Chain A
Amino acid sequence: MAIETIAYDNKTVRDFGLATMVWGAVGMLVGLIAAIQMYFPALNLNILYLTFSHIRPVHTNAVIFAFVGNAIFMSVYYSLPRLCKAPMYSDLLSRLHFWGWQLIIVCAAISLPMGFTTSKEYAELEWPIDILIAVVWVIFGINMFGTIFKRREKHMYVAIWFYIATWVTVTMLHVVNSLEIPVTFMKSYPVYAGVQDALVQWWYGHNAVAFFLTTPYLGMMYYFLPKAADRPIFSYRLSIIHFWALIFIYIWAGPHHLLYSALPDWAQSLGTVFSIMLIAPSWGGMLNGLLTLRGAWDKVRESVVLKFMVVAVTAYGMATFEGPLLSVKSVNALSHFTDWTIAHVHVGALGWNGFLTFGILYWLIPRLYRTKLYSDKLANLHFWIGFLGIVIYVLPLYFAGITQGLMWKEFTPDGILRYPNFLETVLQVIPMYVIRSIGGSLFLLGAVLMIYNLARTMKAGSLLASEQVEVPAREPAPSAPFRFSHRWLEGKPLPFLILAFVAVVIGGVIELVPTFMIKSNIPTIAAVHPYTPLELQGRDIYIREGCNVCHSQMVRPFRSETERYGEYSKAGEYVYDHPFLWGSKRTGPDLMRVGQKYPNAWHYRHMEDPRSMSPGSIMPSYPWLLTNQLDTTTTAAKIRAMQALGVPYPLPYSAMANFDLAKQAQVISDDLKQGSIDCPPDREIVALIAYLQRMGTDIKGASGGTAAGGP
């Protein structure tokens, strides 16, 4: 048999590895700063760029797309060529991919703290960055598929299947969820509104977890766990079955993020059913990973790499059991909007993603540098500190979530809320927040130990930048990698039918989407009107400041919520909401019915210093709103964009919108003067107050005054 010499590019792998470590530490540090602000809001030093609502998306984006993202690419660029016995398709594309992805991260790290956000969780980046992501993702795709097509192994090992599914699905999710109309450079409105936007967002959000945090990591597990244990995977057959089952089921589970919301009931039930079904393929993967070590558990005692991997796979099993549990409506009624969700995602993020990444790094870096790990002892210390960190992180948050959920729902025997003041339920769980931040610190400390350990390892060894290996030469095979000729199709009616269907559907979607979207903007509640220009500007400030990070706008149909907040939310109330702002966490109370509840002056003073109005509040101050001048040059463009999306402003309205805006601002400014607050009408706070006072008031008259909320 002829032998060929090929070279694997280890430099790109190393670079992605370095990026994983650096961005991981940054992302975790930002998370820690955010966590401490939950009980010590002054830590933001009254700086906009350090305020919780601005850095929370920095934390989530950094750990998901920077830490986990780079770890995925590191693993793919290492394992894919070796599984295919072919070098990566193009070194140039590898370079472009690496630097393009780092550029995206830097753009995110700059734009998010500044308040350039779409408000959609894990898709906060604004449209120019969205385009950049698409370009870099396509580069990655070409590089990956090019390598697969040029492979010397006929059989694609199961890890490759996971990588392929990741790429395909993330592409679709990103495109569909990022359909938006640019208004200005760095500001856009999504084409979807209200309930529809919520559904698209959580279809995306859930699948981002599925296809960015799960499927690539399963692929990584299937490569690195057997490698590290030097044992074949427990059942290759199971890996293939659970792969196909997982990807077919995962995509339908998104609506479980919207249980008891204004989403139609059937869609909620669909989400629940598929979520419960997901236990089977998820646990198939977990068991396959753990059983690989059967009869070899002595290796786990000795190998720190395997220790990390075992905990990772176990955490995956726990998180994927808990997820379906939280998708059951009766559990969700308690858990939703509380810290339970945060605990749940951190079992996955810290345990599954974090520990698997650490395990892979400890295995990979010494190999790339042709040396031994600098210190096994230090790595073991990292393992125990990190493990302890996870426990100390999640347990208090479970406790906090359940405590707060129960307090929100508790009534006295007389039938009134036992804790009518929301703040009481927050202050109750503050000690838990303190403990959580200790857990987070430990986890971060562990990561820093790892970075030190691996840096010393790198220093001791030397990078094998280009690994020359001998592989059997490619046969002039009759099995060319991809023979998708039409002739072949003709002989296969079923695939042909499906492909034709796909082609038709794509055309149909392009044609139909705009029609759907605009039609659906016709209000079903006659009392619901578009926002005034000032309210619209105020709403964009609400988005910029990230109010939705801590405040929901979704009163669920429970007596405990209608008593506390007012009339429950109706789908028809959101038809002009581009984007929807339902939120996913109630660190503060729901704001759906906050309109007209407090005087303007209350809001003014509350933004200046929340503790002056509610002593003990953990909300940050937003003093810059009081001095910033509202940018009204964008009003016309915003109105025009809304009109394009079907919001029924009178046609020539955009030109005179600022006139109405000034009028409404003057009224609020005059009212503030009554409360002896001297606030010129051109300040941002005026617009924000206008929006807050409008919220949820449209149907107040229509529903006969039932909307009077609790205190």
Chain B
Amino acid sequence: MQVVVVLLIASVVVAAGFLVAFLWSARRGQYDDLDTPPVRMLYDDIKAGEKPVTPAPSPKSE
């Protein structure tokens, strides 16, 4: 069953990596704004050469 050690280590390494990523992202302000990113992704990019008409966003209820 020694392979459990290998799997544990591999899993812990990845989990630690994710933890670092989480801490890093949280500190870098990735989660400071939880309101605009879900809305911003709805906008399509402005096609080159077209007039930048802002499409009306569907209002977020509540």
Contacts and interface: CB of A to CB of B under 8 A. Distances in A.
A516 B5 CA distance: 9
A196 B10 contact: no
Given A82-B45, A226-B41, A509-B9, A200 B3 contact: yes
A517 B23 CA distance: 35
A679 B49 CA distance: 79
Given A155-B30, A176-B7, A516-B6, A502 B17 contact: yes
A154 interface: yes
Interface in A137-161: 153-158
Q: Which of B4, B9, B21 has the most CB of A within 10 A?
A: B4
16 contacts: A153-B40, A157-B41, A196-B1, A196-B2, A196-B3, A199-B3, A232-B38, A232-B42, A236-B35, A251-B14, A470-B46, A470-B48, A501-B16, A509-B10, A517-B2, A519-B2
Interface string A2-17: 0001001000000000
B34 interface: yes
A295 B28 CA distance: 35
A5 B50 CA distance: 12
B55 to A, nearest CB: 9
A520 to B, nearest CB: 5
A251 B12 CA distance: 10
Interface string A374-414: 00000000000000000000000000000000000000000
Interface in B7-56: 7, 9-25, 28-31, 33-42, 45-49, 52
B43 to A, nearest CB: 10
A495 B22 CA distance: 11
A569 to B, nearest CB: 15
Contacts of B40: 153
B36 to A, nearest CB: 8
A155 B42 contact: no
Contacts of B38: 157, 226, 232-233, 236
A415 interface: no
Interface in A111-167: 153-158, 164-165
A516 B3 contact: yes
Contact of B18 (A156, A203, A248, A252): A248
A192 B10 CA distance: 15
Contacts of B22: 244
Given A267-B4, A502-B17, A508 B48 contact: no
B13 A165 contact: no
B45 A495 contact: no
Nearest to B28: A479
Contact of A295 (B12, B37, B61): B61
A227 B18 CA distance: 28
Contact of B3 (A498, A502, A505, A520): A520
Contacts of A506: 13
A352 interface: no
Given A156-B25, A251-B14, A520-B3, A508 B9 contact: yes
Contacts of B33: 155
Contacts of A195: 1
A168 interface: yes
A244 B18 contact: yes
A502 B16 contact: yes
Size band of the A side of the interface?
35 or more
Contacts of A244: 18, 22
- The interface residues of chain B, by DSSP majority, are classed as helix
B9 to A, nearest CB: 5
Contact of B45 (A264, A267, A469): A469
B14 A168 contact: yes
A155 B6 contact: no
Contacts of A656: none
Contacts of A502: 13, 16-17
A224 to B, nearest CB: 11
A236 B15 contact: no
Interface in A77-121: 82-83, 85
A468 B49 contact: yes
B45 to A, nearest CB: 4
Interface string A668-680: 0000000000000
A240 interface: yes
A240 B21 CA distance: 13
Nearest to B8: A252
Contact of B48 (A5, A168, A517): A5
Contacts of B23: 494-495
Q: Which of B18, B34, B52, B58 has the most CB of A within 10 A?
A: B18
A501 B29 CA distance: 26
Nearest to A501: B16
Interface string A462-473: 000001111100
A237 interface: yes
A168 B15 CA distance: 11
Contact of A156 (B20, B30, B49): B30
Given A469-B47, A502-B17, A227 B42 contact: yes
A144 to B, nearest CB: 14
A210 to B, nearest CB: 12
Contacts of A231: 42, 58, 60
Nearest to A240: B31
Given A176-B10, A295-B61, A495-B20, 6 more contacts: A153-B40, A232-B60, A251-B11, A498-B19, A506-B13, A509-B10
Nearest to A516: B2
Contacts of B5: 512, 516
